[in-house]
Amino acid sequence: MAENKDMISIRINDQKLEVPNDITILEASNRAGIRIPTLCHLDLHDLKMVNQTASCRVCMVEAPGRDMLVPACVTKVHDGMEIRTDSLRAIRARRMSVELLLSNHPNECFTCAKNLECELQSLAHELGVREIKWAGEKMQFPKDMSSDAIVKDANKCIMCRRCETMCNEVQTCGILSAISRGFDAFVGPAFNIPMVESSCTYCGQCVAVCPTAALTEVNHTDKVWEALNDPDKYVVVQTAPAIRVALGELFGMEEGTIVTGKLATALRRMGFDAVFDTDFAADLTIMEEASELIHRIENNGTLPMLTSCCPAWVKFIEHQFPELLDIPSSCKSPHIMLGTVAKTYYAEKIGIDPQKMVVVSIMPCIAKKAEAKRPELTKDEESNVDIVVTTRELAAMLKEAGMDFPNLPDSDFDRPLGETTGASVIFGTTGGVIEAAIRTAYDWMTGDDLEKVDFKQLRGMEGIREATVKINDMDLNIGIAHGLGNARKLLEDIRDGKSQYHAIEIMACPGGCIGGGGQPYHHGNAKVVKKRQEAIYREDKNKKLRKSHENPEIIKLYKEYLGKPYSHKAHELLHTHYEARERI
């Protein structure tokens, strides 16, 4: 037996191990390099999410001393325990669990949105399931396509409850829960109301963790192809900062590979008339947001000011904290700003009728799809952005076009809406927006040229972070939260008068946009998100200009068109308002 009281001795497949006394069989097996297949289980330590429902029974193992099969994901080890993960009994039990799931699952893998990304499909292959032995009744639910962002197909729900854990425990939105019982059970909004009628923020984290296609994004790729092939349309595309550090994964490239130049080349070859960078609009956002922060500080305005770049977080506060709607910045999000500038300033420069212009946004975020349809984000009844596709959708389109993406040559974005700085790049990760704002606010408030632009105290992956930045005689107190559950804690402090912050950055998705609901599926490997974050900071460091107000095309835009930051015209084009929404 183990001598250390905190360690115990067990055997797995005749292999003797010393392990902590408070872990599960699954954790012990992982430490020993012994794979036990799982499906409903998902453990994202860095994101503080653990789904342990043990509902799928795919991780069954044999515990001979107990003469039974037990689920490895929830069964704790004990001293002297002997476990078999490779017995015929355990293997057959796992296979039967998958066969039973498949017996009530649509047989449409070839046309499914998650084909080759489906964890149920992968398990069936791994466990050697070659036929469905039990043919019987199947669930028949209508597809919920009511929203502009998320499609819910209850027929593909396997009741793993991952989405429920993410929605309720991590994001604290409280939208998804189990409906009905037994054969007819599935996960959805209360009373199975349409998604569009719920308080869903469309953050897409439920989509990110769903192992099947029970939850997917609304696909807009056909709309893009139609626009590109319409000779009467001038099609503009923009791509968010988080795309360039994740897209390569979908073409077999190493996680965290920066593909900025290849991305610009690929979009141009697809046939877009202008290839712009959302980073340009991120710099523009900082010009307005930093100005707004300084204006609030100097004029005793409402503090703290909260960043407003994330549409899922904006919808969260509208539903959950409507009494705090004077707190967020009134700035539009960067991709909406770029759409606005493209259909006004740029359209005038090149002599194009804005009604003939189609603006396509490539985003890591599913919520951007719904944001683009918000009625207040229009100009003369024209949407600022017409079509939004995710990182995953773009990869599918590039594959449809037969592009050898990893071997494409690098090129640059078009001007004027393609010039960017390092400050705009870091918008893609938690802490990046507020760091970019501080770089500019510091220069403007002190009149000095800030040399050390890396505010490392604002970086990291902790769910809630805080820092103080000295600007003149003022200690600027900053709060940062990523994940809506963490945002809730900061908002409750503001509501209760406990907040001492001047500025707060909130991003709905764990990790920020790099962990967005439209990014390549990480399948539970949170290290992938960290690699994307590291790449974001590398891209920033390699930029010649690293402050938004130094972007020459931004300077030119204000000189030629907008006047000064936070001017009347800038406010008319680049700012918006919010509305209290019912919580359902």
Average pLDDT of the chain, as a whole number = 93
The 10s digit of each residue's pLDDT in 412-469 is 999 999 999 999 999 999 999 999 999 999 999 999 888 888 898 999 999 999 999 9
Residues serving a catalytic function are 289, 292, 309, 329, 368, 371, 376, 513
Distance from C-alpha of 438 to C-alpha of 205, rounded to nearest angstrom: 29
For the ranges 31-45, 153-167, 317-331, the lowest mean pLDDT is seen at 31-45
The 10s digit of each residue's pLDDT in 82-129 is 999 999 999 999 999 999 999 999 989 999 999 999 999 999 999 999
Distance from C-alpha of 79 to C-alpha of 21, rounded to nearest angstrom: 8
Distance from C-alpha of 55 to C-alpha of 534, rounded to nearest angstrom: 36
Query: Which residue in this structure is represented by tokens 């003149």?
Result: 472
Reduced to 3 states (helix: H, G, I; strand: E, B; else coil), residue 6 is coil
pLDDT at position 378: 76
In this prediction, residues 403-415 reach a mean pLDDT of 97
Of the pLDDT bands very low, low, confident and very high (cuts 50, 70, 90), residue 334 is very high
Distance from C-alpha of 53 to C-alpha of 182, rounded to nearest angstrom: 15
pLDDT at position 104: 92
Rg value, the chain, Cα: 25
All domains in the chain, ordered by first residue? 1-138 (3.10.20.740), 143-215 (3.30.70.20), 221-574 (3.40.50.1780)
The 10s digit of each residue's pLDDT in 27-58 is 999 999 999 999 999 887 666 678 888 899 99
Strands 176-179 and 186-189: antiparallel
The secondary structure of residue 24, as a DSSP letter, is B
The secondary structure of residue 472, as a DSSP letter, is T
Is pLDDT at 372 greater than 70 in this prediction? Answer: yes
The 10s digit of each residue's pLDDT in 219-263 is 999 999 999 999 999 999 999 999 999 999 999 999 999 999 999
Q: Which pTM value belongs to this model? A: 0.94
Phi, psi of 216 (to 5 degrees): -140, 170
- CA within 13 Å, CB half, 10: 28
In this prediction, residues 301-309 reach a mean pLDDT of 94
Distance from C-alpha of 247 to C-alpha of 267, rounded to nearest angstrom: 13
Query: Number of helices (H) and strands (E), helices first, in the chain?
Result: 19, 21
Distance from C-alpha of 425 to C-alpha of 242, rounded to nearest angstrom: 8
Query: Which residue in this structure is represented by tokens 């799931």?
Result: 101
pLDDT at position 1: 44
The secondary structure of residue 364, as a DSSP letter, is S
